[in-house]
Amino acid sequence: MFCLSLTLLVAALLNLSHAQNETKIESTVQFLFPNYCCTALTLSPVSMRVTYPGQSAYEASLGSYFDGKSRLTPNCIVQPKAAEEVSITVKVLTAASLLKPCQFAVRSGGHTPIPGSNNVDDGVTIDLLYMNSTTYDTGTKIASISPAARWGSVYQTLEPLGRMVAGGRGSTVGVGGFLLGGGISHYAARVGLSCDNVVNFQVVLADGRIVNSNKNKSADLFTALKGGSSNFGIVTRYDMETFQNENLWGGIVTYPASTADQHFKALVNFGLNPKRDPSAALIVFQGYSTASPTDVVRAAFDYTKPVPRPDAYKEFFAVANNISDTTKVQPMSAVAAEFGSDTTKRVQFRTLSFKIDLATLQETARLYKIMITELQAKASGQWRVSCLHQVWSTRYTANSMYKGGNVLGMERYTENFIMYQSYLSWSEAKDDELFINQGLALTDGIQKFASSKGTAVDYLYLNYADKDQDPLSAYGADKVKFMRTVARKYDPSGIYQNLLPGGFKIPNV
């Protein structure tokens, strides 16, 4: 009522018709209240959660983004501490938007390196910073995880209790965006994708209602949230299945760049093996860093049982002359810490998928070398490149429908394939165009080759996608149609489509 009263008061003062003078209303409101949307929040019950430029909470929030490019300058940041405060915030912004659109962004962990996806210029950022707890119910064996928790803290909470979840592989990755994008864990071949291990979402809808969505209640929303990103509401709690915890054998082994072809051959056999050990997870990546300017190949081994040097990796172990080896039996929290990321660089992710094919893998290496040579000649400051090759297994979604389904469209695929990610980070803002264009040229080149060879796969993993890519359409036309229907049902006014300027939107909603 407080925000509605503000709306009616301003309209009365202006003596204008909403229908006939919308543009005049908006410009006059902007003149009278230059920070109108933030003013509405400051006049509401969440006033104590609102912070402005120059205040320590505001500056700390911006400084903690994973990607330096994403440190935009919202007019204010609101940091709710509970679902009820998220609900109030959404109601205020929706009501205030009757006079002037209040654009907003939602941040969980802030790990997506796309400016506008989790922050906003000239608007309001809802930073879920304080909603970061993890609790465990011994009766149901369910872990309830808040959206801004980092996976490192989740593991540290659950490990002493003897439990584990299928979460992110890096300790600094936030829970919210990761799960809404699908989520791949080291345990995926054993228990499925991370999103399919969610048994209930607590969601704030566009009208401010707080609902639970699961297999039995709002089941269509439950399915859409698993891969559909932030198009349906703000998730304020994820209830996840847990399983018995035990240590992993894992770590990163670094080799000379000359071993790339050996690793690719081993990766092909690993990915095509129909009897592959479901406890064996692996990423092969090429890497270069100005901090240690040597072109290398790394194999990240993660065997989800405490078995040193398991036979599942024997072809990789046959590659000689490694430079370093961090593998050992250790808890998941330690494995995730090795994949943790700092927050001091500018970052670009891009992704594509292709069949498990040696020639296509070799082409990724050829184009990678061209890019490294170009960056060595033109880039300044500190920078790093990692190009990841990992097997996407049909096992990841084998039991998805039983668990309520998702919108990823993986039932289209009967064979494993390679999911590729280019990960570029650099220190100098003046090099933004250089790195962004080089990343684009790399993935475009691989896509062109894969298409010509008939090895391209029409799937884009949302959590690795760049702003010009369209992962939702890549799920398939039937999934897009389903997401449209769900969005219109739970958000008929299009709040999450129209007031959130960033993120991946459902086409034609």
What is the phi-psi region of residue 364: left when phi exceeds 0, alpha when psi lies from -120 to 50, beta otherwise? Answer: alpha
Answer yes or no: is 509 within a domain: no
Domain count, the chain: 3
Q: Could you tell me if 74 and 200 lie in one domain?
A: no
For 351-387, how does the pLDDT look when each residue is reduced to its tens digit (9 = 90+)? Answer: 999 999 999 999 999 999 999 999 999 999 999 999 9
Answer yes or no: is 356 within a domain: yes
For 393-424, how does the pLDDT look when each residue is reduced to its tens digit (9 = 90+)? Answer: 999 999 999 999 999 999 999 999 999 999 99
Answer yes or no: is 208 within a domain: yes
Q: Could you tell me if 280 and 413 lie in one domain?
A: yes
For 151-189, how does the pLDDT look when each residue is reduced to its tens digit (9 = 90+)? Answer: 999 999 999 999 999 999 999 999 999 999 999 999 999
Quickly state the pLDDT bin for 508 (edges 50, 70, 90).
confident
Instruction: Share the mean pLDDT of the chain.
Output: 93
What is the value of pTM for the model shown? 0.93
Q: Could you tell me if 375 and 446 lie in one domain?
A: yes
Are β-strands 248-256 and 292-303 bridged in parallel, bridged antiparallel, or unpaired? antiparallel
Q: Could you tell me if 69 and 97 lie in one domain?
A: yes
Q: Could you tell me if 283 and 158 lie in one domain?
A: no
Sheet holding 210-213, edge to edge: 134-137, 142-145, 234-241, 198-204, 210-213
Q: Could you tell me if 48 and 146 lie in one domain?
A: no
Q: Could you tell me if 464 and 484 lie in one domain?
A: no
> Has residue 263 got a pLDDT over 60?
yes
Question: Which of 76, 110, 127 is the last residue in one of the domains?
Answer: 127
> Has residue 34 got a pLDDT over 50?
yes
Answer yes or no: is 263 within a domain: yes
Are β-strands 292-303 and 280-289 bridged in parallel, bridged antiparallel, or unpaired? antiparallel
Answer yes or no: is 447 within a domain: yes
Phi, psi of 437 (to 5 degrees): -70, -35
Answer yes or no: is 338 within a domain: no
Question: Which of 127, 154, 182 is the last residue in one of the domains?
Answer: 127
**What confidence score (pLDDT) does residue 23 get?**
53
What is the phi-psi region of residue 443: left when phi exceeds 0, alpha when psi lies from -120 to 50, beta otherwise? Answer: alpha
Share of the chain above pLDDT 70, in %: 93
Answer yes or no: is 431 within a domain: yes
Q: Could you tell me if 376 and 404 lie in one domain?
A: yes
Q: Could you tell me if 412 and 272 lie in one domain?
A: yes
3-class SS string, 153-200: HHHHHHHHHCEECCCCCCCCCEHHHHHHCCCCCCCHHHHCCCHHHEEE
Is the CB of residue 212 less than 8 Å from the CB of residue 200?
Answer: yes
Give the count of beta carbons closer than 10 Å to the beta carbon of residue 14: 16
Find the CATH number of the domain harbouring 147: 3.30.465.10
Q: Could you tell me if 156 and 266 lie in one domain?
A: no
**Which domain, by its residues, includes 147?**
134-244+476-499
Q: Could you tell me if 285 and 373 lie in one domain?
A: yes
Quickly state the pLDDT bin for 341 (edges 50, 70, 90).
confident
> Has residue 287 got a pLDDT over 80?
yes
- Name the maximum alpha-carbon separation found in the chain: 80
- d(CA 418, CA 157) in angstroms, rounded, equals 33
